[in-house]
Amino acid sequence: MSSTDLGMPTTAPDGVGFLRGSEPFPAAAHRALADTQLRRNLGHATRTIRAKRAGVVAEVPDWEELRRAGEAIKADTMARLPELLEQLEASVTARGGVVHWARDATEANAIVAGLVRDTGADEVVKVKSIATQEIGLNEALAEQGITATETDLAELIVQLSDDRPSHFLVPAIHRNRSEIRDIFLRAMPGVDPDLTDDPRRLAMAARAHLRRKFLSARVAISGANFAAADTGTISVVESEGNGRMCLTLPDTLITVMGVEKVVPRWSDMEVFLQLLPRSSTGERMNPYTSTWSGVTPGDGPQTFHLVLLDNGRSNVLASEDGRSALHCIRCSACLNVCPVYERTGGHAYGSVYPGPIGAVLSPQLTGISGPDDPNASLPYASSLCGACFDACPVRIDIPNLLVQQRAASIAAHRTPTAQDLAMRTVAAAMVSPGRFRAAERVLGLGRFAGRSGRIRFLPYPGSQWTSARDAPAPPAETFRQWWKRTRS
């Protein structure tokens, strides 16, 4: 790093963490679409959650006012992010916490590994945290000989099956109950061999498996849903009680938080604690929300570390429109309503941030390195139907961001694509009426049309369009021909 780079907004580094897949979205999606079990699981789960969300949102008369407040609080946060982080640091420090800053994934992993090593522990329990998945923390800890146990049920399913998360809220949404039973039977030590696929029995098995770990854990690692700058109050929103276990029983708590999770005031939680549960699990309120400020003598961990993570967020913040991707509160409503996500699932996106919000967040966090960058393909994983905007509790204009990120991905093309060439041809044809007339006459695309009047196949480069969808056949005569025939 040269000195001129200091203080400039910076993308997340390559080679650490999980912000980028290994292949473009269309290739990964093709494989996902061929998996009929996956499509059944996703279809069932997303249908269930959409109905639940719609029901609990409809009973809130001021839902739109809450959304507008949430949007504005986040915009205000971004406009003074550095100041709010300094305020948060002072509040947390005043209450006995220790604040660390991490430029990127590598640095955050090193900080956390060092803090765990200092306690002498070689085992940690973890509350579900997408930020720690983003930076590949579990893998980095394993390299240091530290075992991290995921305690959220869905995360445990993913970890036991050596899988990757595919959804914010339910990382194992791609698994159904009988697959989960099989994973438990295979990978959970001491599990009842007569375990059935009754969800209640599966939850009990997870409880029994983790109970001893919780009661004896010395170090826990969490993420954060919100952090109020004025009081230093961190919030973790959860369902199972695994969060409470991790936040309450160990001696040391390490919280890894993306810098964008800060909110200005504790009182802002009155907005987000209404927006998040209804958008996320479709409940009026999730079973458990824990909040804490620093260290409380005689209650909970007596050592608290807060790691503030950049890892590309400064790059997102530097874009006037793009920064609204940082407003995301990770509810996953946009995933659940997205016709693309519903069919491909989260793995096809490569990044730990899947779905519509992931398609605009991941490329901005990593930057787009060129036309072959898998993240360059993500903004196209959308029909721009707009359902994601309608569902977003903080009104992120995801369709608009998708279009902008498409432009960014085009700009990253070093060599012209078929689309570029086609556009240049059109531009050349349209510079004069004479050229346009000539072009119209020679097009003659009608010969590829089937009986339906749709074109199902075109030769290259038109095949890039028709491989995915039909094209309408051009009419038998052009507008000019029609005008001449009927008006002259």
Partner 1 sequence: MVEADALVSAREEVLARLRAARDAGAPRGGVPPTPREYRRVGALAAGSAEVVDRLEETVTEYRAVVFRAAGPGDVPAVLASVLEGVGSVVVPPGLPTTWTDGLAVTVRRDDPPLSVPELDGLDAVLTGASVAIADTGTLVLAAGEPDQGRRAITLVPDHHVCVVDAAAVVSSVPEALARLDPTRPLTFVSGPSATSDIELDRVEGVHGPRRLDVVLVGPPRA
Nearest to partner 1 of 101, 389 (CB atom)? 101
Specify the stretch interacting with partner 1 by CB under 8 A; choose among 73-81, 367-375, 406-414, 450-458: 73-81
Q: Which 174-193 positions form the footprint of partner 1 (CB under 8 A)?
A: 176-177, 180
Q: Which two tokens stand for residue 311?
A: 């890892």
List the x/- string, 242-261, binding to partner 1 by CB under 8 A. Answer: x-xx-xxx---------x--
Which span (131-139, 287-295, 408-416, 428-436) binds partner 1, by CB under 8 A? 287-295
- Is there binding between residue 372 and partner 1 (CB under 8 A)? no
Name which of 1 and 411 has its Cβ closer to partner 1.
1
207 contact partners, CB below 8 Å, separation of at least 6: none
Of the pair 137, 259, the CB lying nearest partner 1 is at 259
**29 is an interface residue for partner 1 by CB under 8 A:** no
Spatial CA neighbour of 291 closest among 300, 282, 279: 300
Q: What part of residues 317-356 is at the interface with partner 1 (CB under 8 A)?
A: 317-320, 322-323
Task: Report how far residue 477's alpha carbon sits from residue 475's, in angstroms, rounded to the nearest whole number.
Answer: 5
* CA 287/CA 290 separation, integer angstroms: 10
CB of 260 to partner 1, least distance (A): 10
Q: In what order do the strands lie in the sheet with 147-150?
A: 98-102, 303-309, 252-258, 219-222, 123-126, 147-150
* Interface stretch with partner 1, choices 29-37, 135-143, 171-179, 397-405 (CB under 8 A): 171-179
Among 95, 117, 164, 454, binds partner 1 (CB under 8 A): 95
Distances in whole angstroms, Cα of residue 74 to Cα of each of 230, 271, 313: 15, 11, 14
Return the residues of window 444-483 that contact partner 1 according to CB under 8 A. Answer: none
Using the rule CB under 8 A, is 398 a contact of partner 1? no
224-233 b/e (C-beta count within 10 Å ≥ 16 → b): bbbbbbebbb
Contact stretch for partner 1 (CB under 8 A) within 205-213, 351-359, 391-399, 466-474: 205-213
> How many positions of this chain bind partner 1 (CB under 8 A)?
110
C-beta of 215 vs 468, nearer to partner 1 = 215
In whole angstroms, what is the distance from residue 134 CA to residue 42 CA?
Answer: 23
Q: How far apart are CA 272 and CA 216, in angstroms?
A: 33
Question: Per CB under 8 A, does 195 bind partner 1?
Answer: no
Is residue 288 involved in binding partner 1 (CB under 8 A)?
Answer: yes
Contacts of 159 (CB under 8 A, 6+ apart): 138, 149, 150
| φ, ψ for residue 263, nearest 5 deg | -125, 155
When asked if residue 366 is in the footprint of partner 1 (CB under 8 A), the reply is no
Q: Is 76 in the site for partner 1 (CB under 8 A)?
A: yes
Out of 28, 112, 137, 152, which residue is the one contacting partner 1 (CB under 8 A)?
152
218 binds partner 1 per the rule CB under 8 A:
no
DSSP for residue 220 = E
Taking the least distance from each CB to partner 1, the nearer of 28 and 338 is 338
Nearest to 152, CA basis, from 133, 134, 135: 133
* Residue 170 in the binding site for partner 1 (CB under 8 A): yes
- Contact criterion met (CB below 8 Å) for 168 and 130: yes
Residue 241 sits in the site that holds partner 1 (CB under 8 A): yes
Does residue 15 belong to the site contacting partner 1 (CB under 8 A)?
no
Interface residue with partner 1, options 284, 441, 456, 480 (CB under 8 A): 284
Taking CB under 8 A as the rule, does residue 365 contact partner 1?
no
Among 36, 120, 162, 299, binds partner 1 (CB under 8 A): 299
Nearest-approach distance from CB 448 to partner 1, in angstroms: 44
11 binds partner 1 (CB under 8 A): no
99: helix, strand or coil: strand
Judged by beta carbon, residue 232 or residue 356, the one nearer partner 1 is 232
Min dist. Cβ of residue 219 to partner 1 (A): 15
Say if residues 127 and 247 touch (Cβ distance below 8 Å).
Answer: yes
Determine what percent of the chain falls in helix, strand and coil, rounding each to the nearest 5. 55, 10, 35
Neighbour tally for 219: CB within 10 Å = 27
Maximum Cα–Cα distance across the chain:
94
Q: Does the footprint of partner 1 cover residue 306 (CB under 8 A)? A: no
**Least gap, CB of 124 to partner 1 (angstroms):** 17
- Of the candidate residues 31, 43, 54, 82, the single one contacting partner 1 (CB under 8 A): 82
Q: How many CA atoms lie within 13 A of 342 on its CB side?
A: 17
Q: Are the beta carbons of 394 and 328 closer than 8 angstroms?
A: yes
- Contact between 484 and partner 1 (CB under 8 A)? no
Among residues 141, 146, 172, 455, which is the contact residue for partner 1, using CB under 8 A? 172
Q: Does 118 bind partner 1 (CB under 8 A)?
A: no
Name the DSSP letter for residue 471: E
How far apart are CB 13 and partner 1 at their closest, in Å?
10
Q: Looking at the chain, how many residues does it have?
A: 488
Which residues are 455's β-sheet partners? 449, 471
